[in-house]
């Protein structure tokens, strides 16, 4: 049985699913390549988004909330899909992507306990908000890997 990767949810995320942080334990130390993940629900532009962040590498990505209600059981698929998309966009090899995704075969939800992780999350949210306020949107060079000339 694989060792789980822990998705450490903030109070905002947990309460959105009808859970109280006090009901969950903090995550144990990470054993996966990218570590455990922190999840928060934040405004980005005029929409709400789930912001995922690797606690080991600070690799992060948002998943914008759509019209359908998101359920707790949807979060592992969001994490897997978002990580796959991000790694593909930054030019990771298929082997690197498979390796990173293999650590997500089992995901357990816990409460966020790291204040430093939450501070890093806040800085990332500020960066996304700044990019969204830019009249030109997100510059393509930030989305696509530059091809060598």
Condensed to tens digits (0 to 9), the pLDDT of residues 72-109 reads 999 999 999 999 999 999 999 999 999 999 989 889 89
Q: Are 79 and 7 in contact (CB under 8 A)?
A: yes
| Sequence-ordered alpha helix ranges (H) in 26-148 | 75-89, 94-102, 115-133, 140-143
What pairing do the DSSP bridges indicate for beta strands 107-111 and 60-64? unpaired
pLDDT by residue (tens digit) across 20-60? 888 898 888 888 889 999 999 988 777 888 999 998 998 99
Please give the pLDDT value at position 124.
Answer: 72
The answer, yes or no, to whether residue 123 has pLDDT greater than 80, is no
State pTM to two decimals.
0.80
Do residues 132 and 48 touch, judged by C-beta distance below 8 A?
no
Return the pLDDT at 84: 96
With residue 14 as reference, give the H or E element that holds it: helix 11-16
């Amino acid at each position: 049985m694989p060792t789980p990767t822990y998705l450490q949810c903030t109070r905002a995320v947990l309460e959105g699913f009808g859970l109280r942080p006090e009901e969950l334990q903090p995550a144990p130390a990470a054993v996966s390549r990218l570590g455990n993940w922190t999840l928060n629900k934040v405004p980005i532009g005029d929409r709400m988004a789930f912001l995922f962040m690797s606690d080991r590498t600070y690799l992060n990505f948002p998943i914008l909330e759509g019209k359908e209600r998101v359920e707790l059981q949807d979060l592992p698929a969001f994490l897997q899909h978002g990580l796959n998309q991000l790694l593909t966009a930054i030019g990771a090899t298929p082997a690197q992507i498979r390796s990173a995704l293999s650590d997500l075969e089992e995901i357990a939800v816990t409460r966020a306990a790291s204040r430093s992780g939450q501070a890093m999350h806040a800085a990332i949210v500020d960066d996304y908000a700044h990019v969204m306020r830019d009249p030109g949107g997100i510059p393509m060079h930030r989305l696509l890997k530059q091809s060598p000339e």
